[in-house]
Structure 1
Amino acid sequence: MVTRTSNAALFAAQPGETAHHRTTRVLQCSAALVAAGLVLTACGSSDGDGSGQTGTTSFEGRGPITYVAGKDTSGTVQPVLDRWNKLHPKEKVTFIELPTDADAQRQQMIQNAETKSDAYTVLSLDVVWTSEFAAHQWIDKVPEKQFPLDKMLKPVVETGKYRGGLYTVPAGSDGGLLYYRTDLLKKAGVSEPPTTWAQMKADCAKVKKLPEAKGVSCYAGQFQKYEGLNVNFSEAVNSAGGTVTDANGKPDVDTAAAKKGLDFLVDSVKDGTIPKEALTYQEEESRQAFQDGKLVFLRNWPYVYSLAEKSKVAGKFAVAPLPGLNGPGSSSLGGHNLALSSFAKNKATALDFMKFYTSEESASTFLKDASLAPPYAALYDDAALTKQYPYLPVLKESIQRAVPRPRVVQYGDVTAAIQREAYAAVTGTKSSTQALKDLQEELQKSTEQ
């Protein structure tokens, strides 16, 4: 198999090469390859990644770099960076914190890329941004064989791939969990967490009869008009047997199954199962509401576990798989992967830092200090860890059952459309039927571009 490259790759000057030497090289390569009847494969240019892939990325240069990610609400990132900086005093990494809002993070990273700025080196990308950033050549393909992908959960590894190449490396996975108040359910005579939406509502009705449940609402997720609403909407649709987009990115939301999923959210707001204030919740607002004792049930990520253990509900909660229409539901596959900006300097340092940050040792640290879901399979099966973190088996099940959000190049347009139409439905400005019909049309336009 011969790899095709562009004329631009052929005529690109090599490091230290004069114009005369470049012309000579091009003519020699062209003549030799034409004589052999081959297609040009970028003479003298290879990324040397050991994966059998060719390209133009050169992982050269050592020195200071930056690590760019959303705000570290857990307080665990800087200590890991400090450990790197102590080991590499001449190649220090500076943490650039972006807003907690995922949409704002993505926008700032795109703005940096569009200006071809070298201010950002290593990026922490939401797993669903891989295709978009890779297709626009904002991030470099990285050498697969230099990372222990065979030790990671397969669904997690797949989030880093684009057209067969590895563009992002799993740093942490994520699966949605149902947090629930064990003390309140026990007093209400409920011994097991719900597996269906109907059971959850019935359990809430029993809890609300308790004197100590005065002012407590039933359920919340993340329903503000931002990326979290896309996550919650997708989970509702998938948990009712529907599909947002198929494996090829083709939309399929104007269906009876998708309507059942959206109707769960819409009807829950109408009947008070989901409190009105939850329409303003992102991850942190919903976490705080649960920790303050305002909710019986909460859909959120595993990072909440360690923080809730330090709150007023410590020892009074547990986690379970998300409920669905007829049984356990499906989480949206979450998590963050590391990517290398195409415009960065000191890429040799950056690649080494990515290996350090995504190592099993670092994953174990993030698990122990911040309840962050590790990409490594072995950590979920470690008896000592499971005893210390009893939610691990539930989390592993959540990740393995998880469904990716749309993996499409035009991700910004797709998520904006989902957020717009889902929010219109849950706030009552559109019917579920009309919102899904309009969403189907919008997604078809976006994915056909």
Structure 2
Amino acid sequence: MTYGDHRTHARTRARTRRVRAALALGCLLTLVSAGCTGGPGGDAQESGDGKPAAEGPIVVASGLDVTGSGSVRQQLIEEWNRRHAGSKAQQAKLVELPGGADQQRSQLLGALQSGSARYDVVNLDITWIPEFAEAGLIRPMPVEESGPAADDDRDFIRRVHATTVWKDRSYARPFNTDVGLLYYRPDLLTKADIAVDKQPNAHWTWDQLYASVKTLGLNPVRGDELAGWTTQLKQYEGLTVNTVEAFADAGVELTDSEGKYSSSPGELKKGLDSLLDRVDRGRVQPAALSSDETAALTDFAEGRAVFLRHWPYAYGALGSLMDPKAYAVNPLPGKAVLGGQDLAVTADSPRAANARALITFLTSRESERCLLDAGFAATRASVYGSAAKPCWPRVAAALRPAGEDAPKAAATTGEGGPKGQGAQARATYIRILGAALTEAVQRPRTPYYGAFTQVLQSRVHALLTEERPDTAEAAQGLDKELRDVFAGR
């Protein structure tokens, strides 16, 4: 994992001594020990640029958190505020942005570029990090080469932490992550004498899925007929994710590590053929071509598909929609794409030091456990281990199972706490989730991601809706457009 530019050991030790000396002097001058330890009651004295820190609150901008689990993001903010009750400068406030991901991105870009909103921390989709970093809208994280801070960063799952990096600098900390998983109906498979491997981390292959669908004799024509599987093929980001997974399975990489286009018409054809195989041989639910996360989850829960490609939150949501014995989960066949959000400090924040301290708290081992308990995928490896630290007690008490008030809420928002299958099944789920995250792949890392995903969605959705799709012709057109997109044209 890249954590920034490496300096010599001697320079590191010298800098560490200077920092410690400065901290010690600061403590003696202010006589406020809590301010040096980060404990409750201490006001940070600088903004992070050597200037006096502005008064609070620390404002965090994020997408909507209307969960079925007690709004875990808000609960974590409230826990931070309780721990800093004696300091006005260290109080934090969560501002939730309305709309979908594209609308939120536009709002944040506009607000940060114009300076019209006073945000100190932004919760960014992992695909936005290069764009915001390249535009100078977020600050690089301090480089830690040794000591507790560096050790703490190393606890983040390697591929998840890599989402925070652009041009060898980390610009954020991973808050919550995501990865594609395979949900299935063991009862339907067992009735057809199809062996169901219940071992944790057992990998299905797409060929095994196709063979199971063939054995079941499925060939759906209408949306109310039982299909082999369903997923998100509507013209939005879900289609991009499914396409990138099919491409990755075929060995097709669209960009190099610097975001430069690296594919070709021949390679793109391989990827498009892989996606069409999943649609045709997998006997996908016809409604999948217009399905987002909510629609796909509903089709599976209401018995219109045997398999479902979805995110981790579906495990908790299904507990409110189905009999616990009617569904199970395994890693997605082949490659699975990472999702999630990272927390970054805005470039113009006058509260940068306090903002970084808040981010450290929100991504701590205890906070990450709270996120996992609420239905998110946690970003730290230790959270998936047997010695994981528990969620903050008051946050844990505030969380409630997904769908307790409204079963459809978790499906709509993408968040909610798992329940229904018991402790043993949940432990198995957590092991599967942790393993899947260590093997997941990223979508292209580029400052032009917004343009890329629109081009890909448009081309691929048109191909999927054609009666006789020509992948060679589609690949030629897609190649030309992607060359322009990744060159910033």
TM-score (norm 2): 0.72
Code of the residue aligned with 1:69 in structure 2: it is S
Indicate which of 437, 441, 444 corresponds to 2:480.
441
Q: Closer, same or farther in 2 for the Cα pair 1:243/1:163, shift >3 Å?
A: closer
CA distance in 2, matches of 1:230, 1:139: 26
Indicate which of 402, 427, 431 corresponds to 1:393.
431
Shift of 1:235: 0.3
Code of the residue aligned with 2:379 in structure 1: it is P
Shift of 1:63: 0.9
Shift of 1:73: 4.7
Structure-1 residue corresponding to 2:363: 358
Structure-2 residue corresponding to 1:52: none
Structure-1 residue corresponding to 2:336: 331
CA distance in 1, matches of 2:350, 2:290: 40
Structure-2 residue corresponding to 1:368: 373
CA distance in 2, matches of 1:313, 1:383: 31
Structure-2 residue corresponding to 1:343: 348
Matched, 1:204 2:213: yes
Which secondary structure state, in structure 1, belongs to the residue aligned with residue 308 of structure 2? strand
Q: Closer, same or farther in 2 for the Cα pair 1:322/1:271, shift >3 Å?
A: closer
Which secondary structure state, in structure 1, belongs to the residue aligned with residue 328 of structure 2? strand
Shift of 1:434: 2.3
Code of the residue aligned with 2:348 in structure 1: it is F
Structure-1 residue corresponding to 2:19: none
Code of the residue aligned with 1:67 in structure 2: it is V
Structure-2 residue corresponding to 1:250: 260
Shift of 1:179: 1.0
Shift of 1:205: 3.7
Shift of 1:440: 1.6
Matched, 1:405 2:443: yes
* 8 Å contact from structure 1 (residues 57, 141) kept in 2: no
* 8 Å contact from structure 2 (residues 238, 292) kept in 1: yes
Structure-2 residue corresponding to 1:42: none
CA distance in 2, matches of 1:188, 1:257: 37
Structure-1 residue corresponding to 2:464: 426
Matched, 1:63 2:56: yes
Matched, 1:224 2:228: no
Q: What does 1:95-244 correspond to in 2, within 5 Å?
A: 95-99=94-98, 101-145=100-144, 146=149, 148-192=152-196, 195-207=204-216, 215-244=225-254
Code of the residue aligned with 1:352 in structure 2: it is A
* 8 Å contact from structure 1 (residues 103, 227) kept in 2: no
Q: Closer, same or farther in 2 for the Cα pair 1:271/1:376, shift >3 Å?
A: closer
Select between 416-425 and 86-95 the one with higher mean Cα deviation.
86-95
Could you report, residue by residue, the CA deviation over 1:285-336 in whole angstroms, capped at 9, with x for unpaired residues? 322332333321111111211221222142322222222xxxxx11112221
Structure-2 residue corresponding to 1:380: 384
Select between 166-175 and 114-123 the one with higher mean Cα deviation.
114-123
CA distance in 2, matches of 1:71, 1:286: 21
Structure-2 residue corresponding to 1:10: none
Code of the residue aligned with 1:189 in structure 2: it is D
* 8 Å contact from structure 2 (residues 165, 171) kept in 1: yes
Q: Closer, same or farther in 2 for the Cα pair 1:312/1:225, shift >3 Å?
A: same
Shift of 1:64: 1.2
Which secondary structure state, in structure 2, belongs to the residue aligned with residue 123 of structure 1? strand
Code of the residue aligned with 2:472 in structure 1: it is T
Could you report, residue by residue, the CA deviation over 1:366-401 in whole angstroms, capped at 9, with x for unpaired residues? 11121x222211222327899443122322332222
Q: Closer, same or farther in 2 for the Cα pair 1:268/1:161, shift >3 Å?
A: closer
* 8 Å contact from structure 1 (residues 140, 342) kept in 2: yes
Structure-2 residue corresponding to 1:27: none
Shift of 1:267: 5.0
TM-score (norm 1): 0.78
Which secondary structure state, in structure 1, belongs to the residue aligned with residue 208 of structure 2? helix
Could you report, residue by residue, the CA deviation over 1:23-69 in whole angstroms, capped at 9, with x for unpaired residues? xxxxxxxxxxxxxxxxxxxxxxxx998xxxxxx58693341133222
Structure 1: give runs of 5+ residues left out of the alignment.
4-46, 50-55, 324-328
Shift of 1:345: 4.2
Shift of 1:236: 0.5
Q: Closer, same or farther in 2 for the Cα pair 1:257/1:317, shift >3 Å?
A: farther
Could you report, residue by residue, the CA deviation over 1:179-220 in whole angstroms, capped at 9, with x for unpaired residues? 11122112221123673323213312444679xx98332212
Code of the residue aligned with 2:141 in structure 1: it is V
* 8 Å contact from structure 1 (residues 253, 436) kept in 2: no
* 8 Å contact from structure 1 (residues 63, 349) kept in 2: no
Which secondary structure state, in structure 2, belongs to the residue aligned with residue 69 of structure 1? strand
Structure-2 residue corresponding to 1:23: none
Shift of 1:270: 5.5
CA distance in 2, matches of 1:431, 1:107: 34
Indicate which of 442, 450, 454 corresponds to 1:416.
454
* 8 Å contact from structure 1 (residues 330, 398) kept in 2: no
RMSD: 3.0
Select between 361-370 and 183-192 the one with higher mean Cα deviation.
183-192
Q: Closer, same or farther in 2 for the Cα pair 1:271/1:378, shift >3 Å?
A: closer
Code of the residue aligned with 1:378 in structure 2: it is S
Structure-2 residue corresponding to 1:287: 297
Shift of 1:271: 6.9
Matched, 1:82 2:121: no
Aligned residues: 391
Shift of 1:256: 4.6
Select between 165-174 and 287-296 the one with higher mean Cα deviation.
287-296
* 8 Å contact from structure 2 (residues 47, 54) kept in 1: no
Q: Closer, same or farther in 2 for the Cα pair 1:256/1:152, shift >3 Å?
A: same
- Percent of paired sites with the same residue: 32
CA distance in 2, matches of 1:143, 1:62: 22
Code of the residue aligned with 1:65 in structure 2: it is I
CA distance in 2, matches of 1:57, 1:154: 32
Matched, 1:307 2:317: yes
Code of the residue aligned with 1:311 in structure 2: it is L
